[in-house]
Amino acid sequence: MDSTNSLGPDKLYRRCDPNQFTFKTTADVESLEGLIGQTRAVEAVQFGIGIRQEGYNLYVLGPHGTGKHTAISQFLEQKSATEPVPNDWCYVNNFENPQKPRALRLPAGQACVLQQTVETLIQELHTAIPATFDGDDYRTRKAALEEALAKKQDEYFNNMQQRAKSENFALIRSQAGLAFAPLREGQVISPEDYQKLPKEEQEQIETRLGALQNELQATIKKIQQLERKHRENIRQLDREIALFAVGHLLDEIREKFSDQPAVLAHLDAMQNDIVDNVDDFRKKDEDVAPVLSGIPVPRALQGPPSTRRYQINVLVNNTTTKGAPVVYQNHPTYPNLIGRMEHIMSHAGTLITDFTLIRPGSLHQANGGYLIIDAHKVLRQPETWEALKRLLRAREITIESLGQQYGVINTISLEPEPIPLDVKIVLIGDRMLYYLLCEHDPDFSELFKVVVDFEEEMDRTPENNLLYARLIGTLAKKESLRHFDRTAVARVIEHSSRMVGDSAKLSTRMQGVADLLREADYWAGQHGNGVVTAADVEQAINAQMQRNSRIRERMQEQIERGTILIDTDGEQIGQINGLSVLSMGQFSFGRPSRITARVRLGRGKFVDIEREVELGGPLHSKG
């Protein structure tokens, strides 16, 4: 009995009845919010962005064109709008160890306020400190100290002079210093007369001279101690005057940031450094910045070099941020993702850097929120994937130069204080890459525990047909297209089934559907239609096929010309016709092929086909 079932045309093509829709055009249907046919993916996204445990980052997988990026962005934008704005971050100088800049955390919008306030402070100090040191109070007190020193020095000198006179010596000041000369009858003895003196008298003079020399050395030590004490008193006076000039200005800043202990500690350290280096503000500093081949220097390097160490380098500024940040990094290189330390050329030709040249990466910008990265792009960048995993495990951002790691750059670099990391990473890629990472990277499954799998198709039901109509209306409104009548909607649904190759399914690859809607709108405009009809959609489909069908037409031409022989009637033993489906770009078509088989008399034993082609093993053959 022949059990062969014939495949009729009605089973090859399932039409969509326009009369099932109650609307005239898509202008009458309600707009669609969210995705259609992606229930599993939507639930996974909601779970992934809701759970706040370590390692629950998301990997979004699915074919291209299913709206993964758009859907994820919409969900994250909605979720982030209800979350608090994260803190600002900035780097400041570490006055104890400048090679290790400190990181400051401030409430959103306060980092720039601190930066501007400190800049204003430094400008005021360049005026206030010289004015204070030029004041009468400072001059009077300094003159009093210098007068006291001079008086004490004269006292020591006079006493030494009297002591020398009592020993019949004169104390003489010269360019070489102080010296004693023997006297006779109140006059200094010349070297010639001294040589004429008896030897015993010369010995007596030299003995008295030695004693005086010892006393002079002791006196000089006392004077040096006085001078050191005087310099210390001057320094103390300078500190007192500088503290008076700086203190009340810094007290105003302290009041603004009284609830920020880290900022207050930095202000105290800055005050001590200003007082210790007050001469940097008293002298006229030339505002000279390094220049590299005419390239403008950063703003941080445009101030006086001596006071640049007091600047605030704002790394993350959330002044205008609403809710948690959502950042998409289109080019996830190591510096773009993690940050970098810039260098500039000094006048001596060497590379220099400081804390003002630290630049943030996407992880800094997205800290406290969400970061979207293309999986293929991040894996193609050297060291970026390993660095990302390392930071997610450590839960802190450490800016480190790749050149320093490999020993390429031998210049002195910085070791910025790490910044705590609190971010949800969303990787977007395809299924094959996901399975490869699960198989070959043991860290991947621990860091990306939430998989968001987007469907390529959904069931073709009356309910989903109506959802498709709402989707078409939403896209038409969003992109200012002409609305589609019910016949055009039905034709789009029919073509959607053809796109997935299943009459019982609809495609969820919205990119292809959206392209068809745009092209149908174009043809409706060419025909002068106010709304898009089924004929416009049909012409858009035919135009797509025409643009991509050159190879198919050449193959059909070869069959028509007899270059490729395909029999379409009669029958042959060991020969059938087959159809190979070829996909070239976004266009697929059938190519007829002849399939033949040869049969011969065997050797009287069983032949294992899989064994012959080395696909089967001994156990399979034994069975």
pLDDT of residue 572: 84
Same domain, 407 and 370: yes
More confident residue, 84 or 601: 84
Range of the domain at 623: 562-623
Mean pLDDT of 432-455: 94
Same domain, 538 and 585: no
More confident residue, 486 or 602: 486
d(CA 70, CA 42): 12
Residue 94 in any domain: the answer is no
Nearest CA to 490 out of 512, 469, 471, 519 is that of 469
275 Cβ neighbours under 8 A, 6+ residues apart:
239, 242, 243, 246
Q: What are the Cα distances from residue 348, in Å, to 9, 344, 358, 599?
A: 83, 11, 22, 87
Residue 259 in any domain: the answer is yes
Nearest CA to 452 out of 34, 71, 36, 52 is that of 71
Domain boundary residue, one of 407, 427, 454: 454
Same domain, 213 and 261: yes
SS3 of residue 347 by DSSP: coil
Q: What is the DSSP letter of 528?
A: T
Mean pLDDT of 528-547: 94
Q: Does the pLDDT at position 289 exceed 60?
A: no
Residue 2 in any domain: the answer is no
pLDDT of residue 1: 46
| 345 sits in which H/E element | strand 344-345
Mean pLDDT of 91-112: 93
Nearest CA to 476 out of 503, 514, 449, 442 is that of 514
Same domain, 185 and 74: no
C-alpha of 315 from chain center: 10
Contact 374, 428 (CB under 8 A): yes
CATH number at residue 401: 3.40.50.300
pLDDT averaged over the chain? 85
Same domain, 136 and 255: yes
Any alpha helices (H) in 257-350, and if so which ranges? Answer: 261-276, 279-282, 334-338
What's the whole-model pTM score? 0.78
Same domain, 119 and 228: yes
* Percent of all residues in the chain with a pLDDT value above 70, rounded to a whole number: 90
pLDDT of residue 403: 66
pLDDT of residue 482: 94
pLDDT of residue 396: 95
Domain boundary residue, one of 548, 570, 587: 548
pLDDT of residue 408: 58
Q: Does the pLDDT at position 277 exceed 90?
A: no
Residue 605 in any domain: the answer is yes
216 Cβ neighbours under 8 A, 6+ residues apart:
160, 171, 178, 180
Going by their DSSP bridges, the two strands 313-316 and 370-374 should be labelled as: unpaired
Same domain, 243 and 125: yes
C-alpha of 415 from chain center: 17
Contacts of 541-544 with CB under 8 Å at 24 or more apart are 541/495, 541/516, 543/519, 544/516, 544/519, 544/587
d(CA 426, CA 39): 19
d(CA 416, CA 339): 11
Residue 5 in any domain: the answer is no
Q: Give DSSP secondary structure letters for 273-285.
A: HHHHTTHHHHS--
Same domain, 448 and 464: no
Same domain, 509 and 615: no
Q: Give DSSP secondary structure letters for 599-615.
A: -----SS---HHHHTT-
- For the chain, helix (H) and strand (E) counts, in that order, are 23, 21
pLDDT of residue 411: 61
22-31, 41-50, 215-224, 424-433: least confident range: 215-224
pLDDT band with cut points at 50, 70 and 90 for residue 619: low
26-30, 262-266, 375-379, 407-411: least confident range: 407-411
Contact 107, 88 (CB under 8 A): yes
Mean pLDDT of 109-128: 91
Q: What is the pLDDT of residues 455-477, one digit of tens each?
A: 889 999 999 999 999 999 999 99
Mean pLDDT of 156-173: 79
312 Cβ neighbours under 8 A, 6+ residues apart:
90, 92, 104, 111, 114, 115, 118, 119
CA triple 294-296-298, angle to 5 deg: 145
Residue 210 in any domain: the answer is yes
Contact 368, 376 (CB under 8 A): no
pLDDT band with cut points at 50, 70 and 90 for residue 391: very high
Q: Does the pLDDT at position 74 exceed 90?
A: no
Residue 102 in any domain: the answer is no
Going by their DSSP bridges, the two strands 58-61 and 424-429 should be labelled as: parallel
Q: What is the pLDDT of residues 545-595, one digit of tens each?
A: 999 889 888 988 988 888 888 888 888 888 888 888 888 877 888 888 888
43 Cβ neighbours under 8 A, 6+ residues apart:
none
104-108, 176-180, 430-434, 493-497: least confident range: 176-180
482 Cβ neighbours under 8 A, 6+ residues apart:
476, 521, 524, 525, 529, 530, 531, 532
Residue 99 in any domain: the answer is no
Structure tokens at 542: 């035919």
* Percent of all residues in the chain with a pLDDT value above 90, rounded to a whole number: 44
96-110, 318-332, 538-552, 573-587: least confident range: 573-587
Q: How many domains does one find in the chain? A: 4
145-159, 288-302, 565-579: least confident range: 288-302
d(CA 101, CA 482): 59
Q: Give DSSP secondary structure letters for 3-25.
A: -PPP--HHHH-----GGG---SB
Going by their DSSP bridges, the two strands 326-329 and 370-374 should be labelled as: parallel
pLDDT band with cut points at 50, 70 and 90 for residue 288: very low
Structure tokens at 570: 């009669």
Same domain, 446 and 340: yes
d(CA 87, CA 367): 9
The DSSP bridge partners found for residue 180 are 171
d(CA 262, CA 138): 34
Structure tokens at 120: 């204003």
Same domain, 590 and 601: yes
Domain boundary residue, one of 418, 439, 454: 454
pLDDT band with cut points at 50, 70 and 90 for residue 483: very high
Same domain, 277 and 134: yes
Nearest CA to 404 out of 383, 419, 420 is that of 383
